[in-house]
Amino acid sequence: MSIIDYSIKNRVVTLFFTAMIVIGGIFAYFKVGKLEDPEFKVKEAIVLTVYPGASPHEVELEVTDAIENALEQIPNVEYIESVSKANFSEVKIKLSESLKNDEVEQYWDNVRKKIHDVKSSLPPGTMSPMVLDDYGAVYGIFLAVTSDGYSKKELEKYTKYIKRELQSLHGVSKSTLVGKNESAIEVVINRDKMATYGLNDKMIMAAFIGQALPAYTPSVDQGSQALRVSIDNRFKSVEELENFVLFTKPGKNGEVVVRIKDIGEVHETYVTPVRTMMRYNEKEAIGLMLSPEKGTNVVDTGKEIDKKIEELKQFLPVGIEVEKVYYQPDLVKAAINVFVENLIVSVAVVIGILLFTMGVRTGLIIGSGLVLSILGTIIFMLPAKIDMQRVSLGSFIVAMGMLVDNAIVIADGILVEFEHKEDRFTALTKTAKKTAIPLLGATSIAIIAFLPMYLMPTDAGQYVSSLFWIMAISLGLSWILALTQTPVFCDMFLKMNPDKKPNKLKERFYAKCRSFLVKVLDHRKLSLAIVFGAFLISMVLFFRLPFTFFPDSDKKGFVINVWTPVGTTLTETAKVSKVLEEEILKDKDVIDVTASIGASPARYYIATIPELPNTSLSQLIITVKDLKSIDRIGKYIKKYTAENIPDVKVEIRKYVNGIPTKYPIELRILGPDPAVLRNLADQVIDIAKTVPGAIDIQTDWRNKVLTWTPELYQPNQKKNLITPFDVANSFSKATDGFTIGKYMDGTDILPILLKEQSGDAEIDMNSVGQLPVWGMGPHSVPLNQFVFNNKLQWEDPEIWRRDGVRAIQVQCDTNGDRTAESIRKDIDKQLKNIKFPEKYSYEWSGEYYEQQKNVKAVLQSVPLQCILMFSICVLLFACLRDPIIIFAILPLSFIGIVPGLFLTGRSFGFMSIIGAISLSGMMIKNSIVLVDEIKYEIEVEKKEHYTAILDSAVSRIRPVTMTSATTIFGMLPLITDPLYGDMAITIIFGLTASTILTLFVVPLLYAIFYKIHPQKQ
């Protein structure tokens, strides 16, 4: 007994499992994980190495080069990119995106081992390299703790308290703070008092070093007990530090004891210069970022956090507020609500079409199968750990029309059998048995059409991979339900009506379609010429379409990167940022402005690229009321900055869907000599300036900066027992201070900084010569007595390399009037005018690099996809001619795709490519249904071949057009979606054209391939 017969004869079993799908689907909906966007692991790590006192060039050759050589031994690396700056090296390693997520941590362990091995080869004075393997972590919950009338220390205390409480909640994996300043204990010495006691710096340092040395002692016996001896050498309070004895000596009136408080002052402060700052709506703030655990329901986690914050407010003083900068739970809830609304609309539209075209009862039966397929898929999502997010929810809408295809074919066949007055059981089972295998093949092909998205070995593939699984599960369920639930529901709710009169309107429509098909078959060459001509015109228009990568997101917010000139102090950058913050907050559409000064916050949205610490940077995170206001506000701020702060550059960065890039247009020039690289980059910049639409043109090496490199006069230097280290310490004491010890403040370890009183005087190039330098002698010596050659010279502040080769990138943005690809092409055309010397080359990066990489990744699986689909067709028809006929019409879908994109003003981007590839499965599925019917009419019904073609084409009009119409109308809610919009247009217009081609061109090709002509009368 087949499953079809069993389902009808054992109706209770079918109804039981139907009820279980409904109950299980509703339960799973509330349990399945919910996210804003699909998770994909950023396979990048950064190695930071501090090399104090070294120039960028010295850092590059002595540190960066060694780190890069060590990392080159790691397998499966996409690229190694580095930047060398004064005093520190930053090397980024990007693993191949094809690596599985669970393998990445093993690679980071290997990276740490290689870096540990290379430590011994680094120059003296280099600090231990740090491997930041959580660079790709996403902190989707970004809070700002603000204060009104409280000190920074008090704000920090309350923020740590809030962090501790929120970190303990279920669903929160890790946390970090933004804009927190490093506390320190400052010992400010008075030179005159030191001279009175005959002290110098080295004596103070020696005293602190002796105090800090570990005091390990053996145990002491006490009878039968061994007593541990504990000598506590830690400072327990500021008062204890003030009374720390530096020096003792005999005096006239007894022993002279010199304490810290005798030569200076001790107080708690912050390390200067301040490295980062944060403000929220102009209020001083500290950022608190939380990362949700993988697989958790972010919406539920958000509810727990909201509840906890409300509880904490009872214990927080008035003036300490917790604000939301970027709150993923709210965004996820809103996004899912919108998608669920679209899903409901799509279901309603599809069922509405079915009710209108197939009758109320038949429409509801088919619609019930649609709902059951969706609920059943949600059940599978729970154990498969597929979250509800932008791509998976959109996949349901993409699948919407296809989910009813099988049920339409079965229900339509049952109605036809009812009209032919077959007995009830035969009418219910005949169509299902006849079409079960062809529908299975067609469904499998529709699933395989989405296989390239799953097989893509890139981050973009990981981003859209849930599309394949949703399609596979839902379409597979729809086939099973069409063979079981649909016949049972037809048996329960449809009645045979032997007296039903023919529908004359329907018959006239079918007669006209038959007449048109006869004309197509009678004029075969002309018909083929028209189709081929339409295809050629579409291909000509195709190359005039704008090409893009991923579209912008629909988030009501954006980011402004504010760049002051290279070398600007953090204090000055903060002043510039405050001016822009005030100006932005004047806009009626702005809700809040968060400023992260000195560095961008950690990655709070998957499609962002954090900027590493830089005193010239302030990143403004802006939330707006209306999405349309972003362009207006961005243009105004650019104009305001150009007119009022001309030496400051601002970059407007919208949130994007998918894979981000720092700049949309980037050209990398590689070669050995920095001077030649800058010259070539300047020529490219001159070209870019002539291209309409290109703005904010720059290089990643930025402008050169002035550097003072004094030389020490060794005779005077040795005479006064002064070393270069003493000179560096004197600079440090007069400015930021240098570390001489550690201080335990509860669980925090604070540095003890030694500084020198300078009154109101500041060290600059005019007064630096009078800077007192202390050596081993009892007196200080002014710096100008043993320094000569006060020459200033220009140097590159940043030296970038790519895979061990120096590389400079020319970067630019678009003004919004043209696509990045069109601007890139215009620049590329003029690059032939630049003569690149030997050993110098260039390559495109930015959006072009990512697009080419991902398009290549998706297309490399298309041959496998085609082989699988073709093989299924061969298995279905047991010949080659029928599959060739079916595959021959696939390129003709562009007859609909290209005009559709033109008419709607859309671009052909990554999602359009996915739409075009997935469209092939829909077209093949419809063609299989038609060709199978032709074969059935000829081989089983024994009809004359020409008549069989006409009858089959006409009989398949309703199921083919219905399956296409439900898909087309089901996609309508996605037209306005920023991620799926281009894909929806591609499928809607492509499927419309391909449906007509299926009904008329497939019969034409069948007649040509099998040499079928009408019989002569």
pLDDT in tens, 117-147: 999 899 988 999 999 888 778 888 999 999 8
Tokens of 480: 């099973």
Look at residue 69 in the predicted model and tell me its pLDDT: 94
Q: Are residues 569 and 533 in the same domain?
A: no
Backbone phi and psi for residue 342, each to the nearest 5 degrees, phi listed first: -65, -40
- Do residue 675 and residue 580 come from a single domain? yes
Q: Is 389 among the domain residues?
A: yes
More confident site: 216 or 624: 624
Question: Quick one: tokens of 968?
Answer: 């087309």
Average pLDDT (672-676) is 93
Q: What is the mean pLDDT of the chain?
A: 85
CA distances from 869 to 457, 535, 866, 916 (A): 21, 23, 5, 15
In a domain, 260, yes or no: no
| Separate counts of helices (H) and strands (E) for the chain | 34, 32
Question: What's the rounded mean pLDDT across residues 61-87?
Answer: 93
Nearest to 395 by CA among 414, 409, 384, 381: 381
Residue 49: per-residue pLDDT? 94
Q: Please check whether residue 283 is in contact with residue 147, taking contact to mean a CB–CB distance below 8 angstroms.
A: yes
Paired strand residues for 178: 287
Q: What is the pLDDT of residue 612?
A: 80
pLDDT at residue 500, as a whole number: 54
Query: Residue 288 is inside which H or E element, if any?
Result: strand 283-292
Residue 432 — left, alpha, or beta (φ > 0 → left; ψ -120 to 50 → alpha)? alpha
> For residue 455, is pLDDT > 80?
yes
Predicted confidence (pLDDT) at residue 622 exceeds the cutoff of 90: yes
- Structure confidence at residue 388 as a pLDDT band (50, 70, 90): confident
Give a yes or no: residue 754 inside a domain: no
pLDDT by residue (tens digit) across 837-869? 999 999 999 889 988 888 888 888 889 988 998
Residue 736 clears pLDDT 70, i.e. is over it: yes
Does residue 211 belong to any structural domain of this protein?
A: no
| Same domain as 830, residue 681 | yes
Query: Is the pLDDT assigned to residue 198 strictly greater than 80?
Result: no
459-489 pLDDT tens trace: 888 888 888 999 999 999 999 999 999 999 9
User: Of 457, 479, 496, which marks where a domain is finished?
Assistant: 496
Mean pLDDT of 649-665: 87
Helix 881-888 × helix 910-939 angle, to 10° = 140
**Mean of pLDDT values over 276-297:** 88
DSSP state of 73: T
In whole angstroms, what is the distance from residue 653 CA to residue 665 CA? 13
The H or E element spanning position 708 is strand 705-708
Least reliable range by pLDDT among 61-70, 426-435, 897-906: 426-435
Last residue of a domain, one of 85, 112, 136: 136
So what's the pLDDT on residue 261? 84
**What is residue 759's predicted lDDT score, i.e. its pLDDT?**
57
Q: Helices (DSSP H) in 603-723: which residue ranges?
A: 629-644, 674-689, 714-719
Per-residue tokens: 112:
């740490």
Examine the domain organization and report whether 835 and 886 are in the same domain: no
Residue 351 falls inside a structural domain: no
Q: Between 765 and 365, where is the model more confident? A: 365
pLDDT tens per residue, range 985-1003: 998 999 888 888 888 888 9
What confidence tier does 501 reach under pLDDT thresholds 50, 70, 90?
A: low
**In this structure, are 944 and 993 located in the same domain?**
yes
- What percent of the chain lies above the pLDDT cut of 90? 29
- Overall domain count for the chain: 4
Mean pLDDT of 909-933: 83
Is 651 a member of any domain?
yes
State residue 215's pLDDT score: 66
Identify the helix (H) or strand (E) that includes residue 729: helix 724-734
pLDDT (tens digit per residue) in 680-717: 999 999 999 999 989 889 898 888 888 887 777 777 76
Strand partners, 742: 751
Q: Are 510 and 491 in a shared domain?
A: no
Chain center to CA of 385: 20
| pLDDT in the model for residue 163 | 92
**3 state DSSP class of 564:** coil
Residues 457 and 603 in one domain: no
Predicted confidence at residue 750, as pLDDT, reads: 81
| Residue 836 and residue 811 share a domain | yes
pLDDT for res 437? 86
Q: Does residue 804 share a domain with residue 670?
A: yes
Q: What is the dihedral of CA 753, 758, 761, 767, to 10 degrees?
A: -90
State phi, psi for 388 to the nearest 5 degrees.
-80, 115
Per-residue pLDDT band at 720 (split at 50, 70, 90) = confident
Is the CB of residue 258 less than 8 Å from the CB of residue 247?
Answer: yes
Whether residue 885 sits in one domain with residue 834: no
Task: State whether 49 and 12 are in the same domain.
Answer: no
Q: pLDDT for 202-254, tens place per residue?
A: 778 778 777 766 667 777 777 778 777 777 777 778 888 888 888 787 766 76
Indicate the Cα dihedral angle 782, 784, 787, 790, nearest 10°: 140
CATH number at residue 606: 3.30.70.1430
- Between CA 218 and CA 229 the distance in angstroms is 7
pLDDT confidence tier of residue 1, bands split at 50, 70 and 90: low
Q: Outline where 151-233 has alpha helix (H).
A: 152-167, 191-197, 201-212
What SS3 class is residue 412?
helix
Q: Which residue has the higher pLDDT, 290 or 202?
A: 290
462-483 burial string, b = 16+ CB within 10 Å, else e? bbbbbbbbbbbbbbbbbbbbbb
The answer to whether residue 276 sits within a structural domain is: no
542 vs 194, which has greater pLDDT? 542
Question: Which CATH number does the domain housing residue 959 bear?
Answer: 1.20.1640.10
Residue 689: predicted pLDDT? 92
- Residue 188: φ, ψ to 5°: -100, 110
Confidence of residue 148 (pLDDT cuts 50, 70, 90): confident
* Residue 832: DSSP 8-state: G
- Average pLDDT for 727-738: 77
State the pLDDT at residue 983.
Answer: 86
Longest CA pairwise span in the chain (Å): 142
Confidence tier at 427 by pLDDT (50, 70, 90): confident
Does a structural domain hold residue 272? no
DSSP string, 894-921: HHHHHHHHHHHT--B-HHHHHHHHHHHH
Mean pLDDT of 726-752: 78
Q: What's the domain range around 647?
A: 557-704+799-846
Pick from 31-40, 54-63, 593-602, 827-836: least confident: 31-40
Asked whether the whole model's pTM tops 0.95, one would answer no
* Same-domain pairing of 566 and 664: yes
Answer with the residue of higher pLDDT: 893 or 770.
Answer: 893
pLDDT at 347 over 70: yes
| φ/ψ (deg, to 5) at 562 | -105, 120
